[in-house]
Structure 1
Amino acid sequence: MEEAFLLNQTSIVTYFRLSGLSVNQKVQMAVFSMFLIFYVLTLIGNILIVITIIYDCRLHTPMYFFLSNLSFIDVCHSTVTVPKMLRDTWSAEKLISFDGCVTQMFFLHLFACTEIFLLTVMAYDRYVAICKPLRYMTVMNWKVCVLLAVALWTGGATHSIALTSLTIKLPYCGPDAIDNFFCDVPQVIKLACTDTRLIEILIVSNSGLISVVCFVVLVISYAVILVTLRQQISEGRRKALSTCAAHLTVVTLFLGHCIFIYSRPSTSLPEDKVVSVFFTAVTPLLNPIIYTLRNEEMKNALNKVMRRNEKKEGKFKSIGH
C-alpha cells in the first residue's frame, strides 16, 4: 500500500512537453522570424491605438473606448503565448511547468472570452449608433459603457476560473506531451489519468456555447444594421459599412477559431495548429491594421500624434544646440 502511494506520488506530472510548430530547424527559424515580426507589430500597433485614443479628445466616444479595450486585450492575449513560443524555438525540449501551463490556460481564456464579449458589445454599440442615432448618447452614455466594460471583464474572469478549476482538479500521471505550442484546456485534459468525457461536455457547453451564441447574436446585429443602411444617404452608408466590415472581419477570424476548437470533443486535428497560429498571432495583429487603414478618424488622429511627437523632438534638438 505504501509502495503504491509512493509510486503515485513520483508519477505525478510536474512538466509538460510542447510539440511546437515543427521539428525542422530551418522551419523553426523561419517561424521564429515570422512570429517575432508579428508580435512586435502587434505591440506597436495596438499600443499606438490606445495612446492615440487617450490623447485625442475627438476619439473619446463609446466606440473608441471599446476599441481601446480591444487593443489592450490583443496585446495581453498575444503576450500569453507568443514570447514562450519564441523562446521554445531555440530549445530542444519545449518544457512548461504544470503551474506555468495552468497560468497560461487561465489568462488565455480570460482574454479570449473577454474579447468575445467585447466584440458582442461593440456590435451592439454600432447597432444603436446606426439604427437609433437620436438615442445613441442616451443609451450608450459613459456610465453604461463603464458598466459594460466591468461586466465583460467579470464574465471573462468567471469563465476562465471555471475552466481552469475543472482542469487542475484532474489527476495527471503521464503522458506529458501536448500537441501544440501552448497549453489549452482541450489538449491538457486529454492527458488526465481518468475519464474526461463529462468535462469535455462541460467545455463544449461552456466555451462552445458562448462562441456560437455570440456569433449568432453578432450576425443578427449586423444583418439588422445592413438592412437599416439601405435607407441612409450614400456617404453615411459608406462610412458605416466600412466600420461594420472591419468588425465582421475581426469577428469571423476570432470566433471562427473558438467555434472550431471548442465546439467539438477534445480530438487533435492537423488543422488545429494552423488555426491556433491565426488565433494567437495573426488576429491580434489584424485588429490595428483593420481599424486604422479603414478608419479616417483614426488615421487623422494618428497623424496628429505623430506631428506632436515630431514637434517635441524638434524642441529638444533646438534646446540641445
Structure 2
Amino acid sequence: MSFFKKLKEKFTQSTDQVTEKFRSGLTKTRDVFANKVNNLVARYRKIDEDFFEELEEILIGADVGFQTVMDLIDELKMEVKRKNIQDPKEMQDVIVEKLVEIYENGDEQTNDLAIQPDGLTVILFVGVNGVGKTTTIGKLAHQFKSEGKNVLLAAGDTFRAGAIDQLEVWGDRVGVEVIKQGEGSDPAAVMYDAIRAAKARNADVLLCDTAGRLQNKVNLMKELEKVKRVIEREIPGAPHEVLLVLDATTGQNAMTQAKQFKEVTNVTGIVLTKLDGTAKGGIVLAIRNELQIPVKFIGLGEQMDDLQPFDPEKYVYGLFAGIMDDNEEVE
C-alpha cells in the first residue's frame, strides 16, 4: 500500500473533525503547490534533471525554503535510484512520504506543550506586532478553559498602544482574568503580579503576552531576560514554553523573524497563524528543517477552535487530499 493510501485510510476512518480543518485550511497552498506537482508528474514521461528542476521551482514557490528544497531534492534523487523509479506518477507518493520525514526527522523536541502535571504552567508568547499573538493567546486560553483548566492572562506588552485593551477584550470573550498594569509600566513587574495572582487563585495555566518590537534587539533581549528571570525566581523551571508566533502569509519573512527571535531568546515552539490565508504553507517545513524548532500550533481559520495542534501527517494529507484521491480513482 502506498504511503498516501495509508494516510488516507488512517484519517478517513477517523471521526476526528480536525483532519477536515487541515484539509480545508490548506486549500490555498494545495491549489498552488499540490496541483503544480500533480501537473508536473502528468506532463513528464521520465524522471530526469528537467523534472527535478521544475519540482525545485514549485517547492521554492511554496516557500519550503531554499536549503530545505535542496535537502528534499537530494533525498528524492536517492530514492529514485534506490527504488529504480521510472514513472513520474510514482514520485507523488515519494514526495508525500519525504515531506513527512523532513518534519519528523528533526531532533527529539516534541510538538506537545510542556504542561505541568502539578502546579502552574507558564507560557511566554513572543513575536512582532501584527502576527496574531494576542488572538493566539485568546484562542489557547479558550482551549485550556474548555479542558477545565483555571487560566490567567498577563498583559506584558506594555509598549504597544492598545495591547492591554486588546488582551482584555479576549479575556472578557473567553471569561478569564487579565492581570495588568498601566501602559509603559515594567513588563517584569506585570509578570510578578501575574504569578502572585496565579498562585493565589490556584491557576493551572498562565499565558503571558510580551512586546513585539525587533527594531532594537538589545532592548528586547534585556526585557525578555528580565521577564524570564522574574518568572524563574518565582517558579523554578518556568517559563515552561516560549512560543514564537509567526504570520504564515509573510513566507520567508517569517523565517527571518524566527532566526532573530531564536538569537534573542530560547524559543521552544512555533505558532504559525493565518495558514489558511496563504499559498506559502511550505514555510512549516522550512522552519522545522532549518531551525530545528517544532511547530506546535497552526491557525487554520478565524473561529475559536481553528487554532490546532500541528500534526505533520495531517498537514501533508491536507496538502494532497483530493488531488491524490483523483489520481487513484483514475488508476
TM class, shorter-chain normalised? under 0.3
Report the structure, 1 or 2, having the larger strand content.
Answer: 2
Report the structure, 1 or 2, having the larger helix content.
Answer: 1
Name which one, 1 or 2, has greater alpha-carbon Rg.
1
TM-score by length of 1: 0.26
